[in-house]
Every structure is written in structure tokens, then in C-alpha cells.
């Protein structure tokens, strides 16, 4: 179907509904599998489910996203764009310049949670909203990913396999 304008809840190709975690999850997992055949998608799939829980307030200890722009759809759009960029690069890169599935996975998990620093923890319920954290949301996002990696092992698993 041709539209006179692009729907705001779809990606730039108007084919993936970026307001739907399930639709973006399927597209990203397909790109990951086709870019790195044989790579195990389990960590990435788990991360996409955990992302959805975090941003919707279903993850214990967190209140969910409440910022207008840095929301679930923005982050889903970001991870889809990142997956496409990584896939495109990987297809054209010389073998010695390839990213590989482990670093690709790290890039995708990082893209998913890049704005997690806007999400308030339950102990921060007196804070009016996540926008208060604009100045330090990047640091908060990094701290979230560090905890997430220790607790759920996607990031730490990638580092171990990459020899870091």
C-alpha cells in the first residue's frame, strides 16, 4: 500500500511497525540471523524481551519509561536502524574488517538500552519523570547496562567470547 506520507509508527521504509516490540524483535532477529548465519540469537532475543519489560514498567525495580521522545518507539527505531547499519557494513566489509556476531550483538544490545537512563527506579518514584535525568542519562544507561550484564550475562557473555 502506498501512502502519501510515512506513518509515524513505522520505520523509514514503512514496513516495520516501530511501535511494536514484537515486530521490531522479528526484524532485528532476522537481520542478525541473515548477517551472521550460525550465530546464536538467544541472548539478543532475551535482551529484546527484557527491554520491553523495562520500558513498559514490567521489570522489577523499575517504573517504565515516561518521557515523550526517549520512549519505547524511539529505542525500537534505534535498534532497527542499528541492525540495518551493522548488516550493511558486514556485507561489504573485508574479512579482516568484519564486525562479527559478538560485537554485532554488543552493538544491538547497546542500541536497545541506549536511553535506559531515563527510566526511574522504584526508589526514585518521587522524581517527577525521567526527563529529570537528561544531563546524566548516558551515564545512567551505562550503569544500567553494566548491572544488566552482570545479572543476565548478555554483555558479559559477549565480552568473554570476544576475549575481553
Residue 92 lies in a domain: yes
Quote the mean pLDDT of the chain: 92
Total count of domains within the chain? 1
Burial class from Cβ neighbours inside 10 Å (0-12, 13-18, 19+) for residue 91 reads exposed
16 part of a folded domain: no
Max Cα distance, the chain (Å): 52
Instruction: Answer whether residue 3 is part of any domain.
Output: no
Domain-embedded: residue 62: yes
Identify the three-state secondary structure at position 149. Answer: helix
Write out pLDDT tens, residues 35-47: 999 999 999 999 9
What does the alpha-carbon distance between residue 75 and residue 70 come to, in Å, rounded to a whole number?
Answer: 7
Q: Which residues contact 57 (CB under 8 A, 6 or more apart)?
A: 63, 64, 65
What pLDDT score was predicted for residue 151? Answer: 85
Residue-wise pLDDT for 120-145, tens only, equals 999 999 999 999 999 999 999 999 99
| Domain assignment present for 2 | no
HSE-CB of 53 using CA atoms within 13 angstroms: 12
Residue 153 has pLDDT above 70, yes or no: no
pTM of the model: 0.88
Residue 10 lies in a domain: no
Q: What mean pLDDT comes out for the span 88-116?
A: 97
Domain limits for position 103: 21-161
Q: Which of 85, 56, 62 is nearest to 141 (CA)?
A: 62
- pLDDT score of 154: 47
Q: Determine, yes or no, domain membership for 83.
A: yes
- Give the pLDDT band (50/70/90) at residue 13: very high
> Does some domain include residue 30?
yes
Amino acid at each position: 500500500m502506498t501512502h502519501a506520507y510515512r506513518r509515524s509508527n513505522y520505520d523509514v521504509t514503512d514496513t516495520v511497525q516501530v511501535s511494536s516490540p514484537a515486530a521490531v524483535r522479528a526484524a532485528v532477529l532476522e537481520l542478525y540471523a541473515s548477517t551472521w548465519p550460525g550465530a546464536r540469537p538467544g541472548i539478543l532475543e532475551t535482551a529484546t524481551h527484557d527491554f520491553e519489560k523495562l520500558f513498559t514498567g514490567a521489570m522489577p525495580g523499575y517504573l517504565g519509561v515516561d518521557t515523550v521522545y526517549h520512549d519505547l518507539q524511539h529505542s525500537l527505531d534505534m535498534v532497527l536502524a542499528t541492525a540495518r547499519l551493522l548488516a550493511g557494513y558486514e556485507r561489504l566489509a573485508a574479512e579482516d574488517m568484519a564486525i562479527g556476531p559478538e560485537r554485532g550483538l554488543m552493538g544491538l544490545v547497546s542500541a536497545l538500552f541506549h536511553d535506559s537512563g531515563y527510566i526511574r527506579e522504584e526508589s526514585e518514584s518521587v522524581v517527577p519523570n525521567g526527563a529529570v535525568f537528561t544531563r546524566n542519562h548516558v551515564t545512567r544507561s551505562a550503569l544500567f547496562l553494566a548491572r544488566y550484564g552482570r545479572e543476565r550475562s548478555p554483555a558479559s557473555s559477549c565480552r568473554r567470547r570476544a576475549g575481553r
